Structure 1
Amino acid sequence: MKTFSLALTVSALATMAFSHATFQQLWVDGEDQEGICVRLPPSNSPVTSVTGQSIVCNANPSPAQGICDVPAGSTVTVEMHQQPGDRSCANEGIGGNHFGPVMVYLSKVDDAAAADGSTPWFKIFESGYDAATGKWGNDVINEECGKQDLMIPSDIAPGDYLLRAETIALHAAGQRGGAQFYISCYQITITGGGSATPEGVSFPGAYSVNDPGILVNIWGNLQSYTIPGPPVYTGA
């Protein structure tokens, strides 16, 4: 269980302020694609509104260099770090007590390079809170040098997709608007697969400021946590 003292030191507060982060790289079946297919945000600052367009792929991300090929059924790894280009395991992927869940979505699009994120999104991964250990989804990212593995469903239709990686920092989420969303979108082409086209949700629209996983005080005796968004698509 995470505990919190109101007597935070000035240095601890400074650490929290400077521990923002960005999903920056992608791996496909253990092969490092670096930052080729990520739409990288201009800064490591969070999104704080669930109703604006920035909740889709972050605020004014730069165009990606290209599109990564990803076989259906493969394991991809999203990689997060606090500073651009810093992949050192000496630093946490996201630090400063920025505890929270991790989610990954897919959206099927006609052209990954041109897509604006307005097509439906279905969730393919989530990692929340384990009350027994006090461990959050992004604690796992920190333990794994900024990385989170997940599987691409083997039955989804081939074609271009946007992959949306997200963690929500909940250290200030006890008040409305206090949750911090760290988001990046990757441009991918899924090969192989089947014909499934899962139903999805819209961003903005999928989250509400009053959702129990967004407006939540994590510093008390937290017994459970409700991850925002739809259920994970598990395949046929």
Structure 2
Amino acid sequence: MDKILEGLVSSSHPLPLKRVIVRRVVESAETPLSQAQCRAMFALSTRLVLQGPDPFQRQVGRQVLEAYGRYHRAEFEAFFNRGLVLGLLQRGYGELSNRDPAILDYIQAGLRLIMSCPSVLELFELLQVEALRLVCERPAPPLCARLCQLLSDFPQCLPRGRKLSLAFCQQLVRSIAHFQSQGSREAELRLSVSQVTQVSGLLRSVWKAEPDTLLPSLQELFAVIAASR
């Protein structure tokens, strides 16, 4: 099935025909498959999501991943493991940089599929560490905002304890201080405001959960403002 799908999406067949066949592939997801067949479908859909050369192939990847991951959850749990997620976060995927927001899009989709699986707890612990590492590396605004969106949707991935939570908040404040609009057009300004809003919204959530982090975070903010004058 994976070879058929791979050949189809890259073929010169008309797009409407491709969509019809893809729909049939997605609808057949509930058909029993071997572990090897499932793994092949997950590997292909992952590649399409992260390296698809056009929106159609990336959309197909997302549809196939969601359908087959839902109907073959145990096999997907085995595929979407700690090694895969850590590799994506630290090394990226092929030519796709680990600092591309698409990596976090994929990880969030995977988390949704295994929320009821025991191994999700291990991934939560991993992401708590990786989230702090990412903000310490001063991520660009799109990546920082995307990380905050993931953490808002999955607060289980936020660093735990006052010390780590405080470090996380302080690093977020330093990151947001470097946000700059990439232009003066309305769309660019709206995007910049949206990114700041995403980050500040997560900060408020952390402050609410860990009140002791609020004052030091504000002190960090005032220090950043003073340094920029």
TM-score (norm. length: structure 2): 0.24
Q: Which has the larger radius of gyration?
A: 2
Higher strand share: 1
Q: Select the structure with the greater relative contact order (CA < 8 A; seq sep ≥ 6).
A: 1
TM-score (norm. length: structure 1): 0.23
